[in-house]
Structure 1
Amino acid sequence: DPEKALGTTHASSQHGSDSDAESTNGESSKQLSGRPDLPALLREEFTSASAPERIGVFVCGPLSMQNDVSNTVAEAQVELLKGRRKDIYLHMEHFSWA
């Protein structure tokens, strides 16, 4: 399940107030209102991951969102070159309203 591969913090752009929730299996999630700060969320995940852990980032959305995500992944790949991370995989699906 790709959602389980992520950390426990998830962001949503749904309207309403911020809220915390815990599922029946003990996993927790946080729902945030407004546009998520994807670079900050990704950096948090990269920082909390174990050093040899593989990370997959999958993004589908408008070009500005794809650029934010791909630039943040590129910054994190510097750590890969320094030997601090085993693998970072970026998969982008192109999205348009047309």
Structure 2
Amino acid sequence: TAAAAMAPHTTNEMRERMVAWHSELGKSDTEIAALANCSERTVREVLRLHRTFGVVRNPFAQPRGGRRSLTTGDLNFISSLLAANPCLYLDELQDRLATDRDID
């Protein structure tokens, strides 16, 4: 079975519009969801955040993802290695990163 595609993130601009549609035009959650092309749950969450905190994004949410392990320089190094030696095995690549770039 194919994995379900995740919906695109709702921009801050669209979230602000949701609030305006609700407060200024009196649109329902269902109408706003149709206009914003998102779920009613998203609409309710945005309106709740605005009502509770006065903002359209959760002010306590942590940034998504973890700290990057490789720098741009490291990625350029890997690209150069693979361009010069396309048959390089992963363990050899890791060895070169450890010795040349001090990455474990």
| TM class, shorter-length | under 0.3
The structure in which a higher percent of residues are helix is 2
User: Greater Rg, structure 1 or structure 2?
Assistant: 2
Greater relative contact order: 1 or 2 (C-alpha under 8 angstroms, separation 6 or more)? 1
Give the structure-2-normalised TM-score. 0.22
The structure in which a higher percent of residues are strand is 1
